[in-house]
Amino acid sequence: MSPAASGSSVTDIGTNREALSLPAFRRLALAWLFSNFGDSVLYLTAAIWVKQLTGSDAAAGLVFAALGLPALLSPLTGRLADRYRRKPLVIINNICAAAVVLVLLAVRDADQLWLVYAVVFVYANSSYVTAAAQSGLLRDLLADRLLAPANGILSSIDQGLRIVSPLLGAGMLALWGMESVVLLACGCFVMAAGILTTLRIKESVFTEDGEETFWQSTTAGFRFLARHPLLRPALVTMSIAVGAVGVINVTIFATTEQGLGQPPEFLSVLLGVQGAMSVLGGLAASRVIRRFGIRTTIAFSVAVLAAGVLLTASPSLPVVFGGTVLLGISAPWAVISFVTLRQRETPARMQGRTAAATHVVLNVPQVAVSMAAAAVIGVVDYRVLIAATAAVCLAAVLPLLSPRTRAEAATEGTSEP
């Protein structure tokens, strides 16, 4: 039974030190570090490699399409994570990812480009399996009060790797070729699998509902989120805000060149600052949630996100840096708060499917908005797009502030301080 259902306070949140004091969580976090490192060292390096093979920006861009498409299949991977024991599933998944990535060693020229896309698509699917299964593993492994710090630590690991691993991968590609990157990624996946074999965990027992069809079982996560009085408004807020921020993926280039008068390479500085702040934001998330509560933290974080977005329209470098700092800190707070709420309110048997449904509801709108922004930025001033994005983010807070939502939160025992 979740704390909400039993009447305990959502603000009863543990610390990072408490989460890390558990040997089983330390092992899970270490496995997460290796598997995420293998994943992130490949994603940008593969695009650079394809550019080298073909000389085509479009061909390189298709690598990111191959990475993004598996989000549409995540309901299937979520069902997989709920039907089978998650520890062996993640172990097998990492071993399979290592085997699939090794296929890239057979690619020698542009004629084998299809093989690169196929490998990237398959190994990208494996990351969704890991994410869906890990949600259930955390739920079984940790007391509810430790979910927020655990999610914050894992988020900081993820954000830190996003800063370091692409640089390392690009450097290895330049010095020793793609073979070295492939072998490193493969080794990371194998290490993750090996660490997980030593994880001691008592997993929940799952029972199949014989009356459910395949389609009903696969989409159960969406229905659960849509009907839950606490998760529904929070997910609406997150979907609108995360989707709207997809505009920034496009306008950031105009901010750098037109607004700040800097070369495109300066973008790496802004992204580095944002990444560093995201690491700090992840580590501080449990403290913020403990102080303000989950629902208030989501609302506050999205409002700060709106302010950060708006500041990127300024031609002043210090102001843009300030906006970048706000973006880096607020995004992890919002995501970690929502993920923690979802894990606490979702039964163990549905953790994988609600995690998968969340991936679809958050990622697909952002991709669509990014594509739309790319189509119109040539005719609409980037500052207008940024201002509109900030307004939409601010409006996204409204579902969490409605009287009905506040009443339902109080009824569920999760009212804010």
One-letter amino acid for residue 73 of the chain:
L
Q: Do 312 and 257 form a contact (C-beta atoms < 8 A)? A: no
**What radius of gyration, in Å, describes the C-alpha atoms of the chain?**
21
Q: So what's the pLDDT on residue 69?
A: 81
**C-alpha distances out from residue 55 to 49, 50, 51, 374, Å:** 10, 8, 5, 22
Residues 6+ apart with CB under 8 A from 245: 305, 309, 331, 366, 389, 393
The pLDDT mean for the chain works out to: 87
Distance CA 280, CA 329 (A): 7
Structure confidence by residue, pLDDT tens digits, 365-396: 888 888 888 888 888 899 999 999 999 999 99
Mean per-residue pLDDT for 348-374? 88
Cα angle 346, 240, 362 (rounded to 5 degrees) comes to 50
246 with 370: CB under 8 angstroms?
yes
Which three-class secondary structure state does DSSP give residue 390?
Answer: helix
> What DSSP element (H or E) covers 120?
helix 113-141
What is the reported pLDDT for 237? 96
pLDDT at 2 over 70: no
Instruction: Note the pTM of the prediction, 2 decimals.
Output: 0.87
Q: At what angle do helices 294-311 and 231-244 cross, to 10 degrees?
A: 10
Q: What percentage of the chain's residues is helix, strand, coil (to nearest 5)?
A: 85, 0, 15
Return d(Cα 379, Cα 367) in angstroms, integer. 20
What's the DSSP call for residue 205? P
DSSP letter assigned to residue 346: S
Q: Which domains does the chain have, with CATH numbers?
A: 7-206 (1.20.1250.20), 214-410 (1.20.1250.20)
pLDDT in tens, 53-72: 888 767 877 887 788 788 88
What's the pLDDT band for 409 if we cut at 50, 70, 90?
low
Tokens of 187: 């080794």
The pLDDT, as a whole number, for residue 404 is 61
CB 414 within 8 A of CB 6: no
DSSP of 322-334: HHHHHHHHHHHHH
Mean pLDDT of 147-161: 93
pLDDT at 403: 62
What b/e readout covers 225-237, taking b as 16+ CB neighbours within 10 angstroms?
beebbbbbbbbbb
Query: 286-292: long-range contacts (C-beta < 8 A, 24 or more apart)?
Result: 286/13, 286/14, 286/15, 286/16, 286/148, 286/149, 286/152, 286/336, 287/15, 288/333, 289/11, 289/13, 289/148, 289/333, 289/336, 289/337, 289/340, 290/11, 290/13, 290/148, 291/11, 292/11, 292/416, 292/417
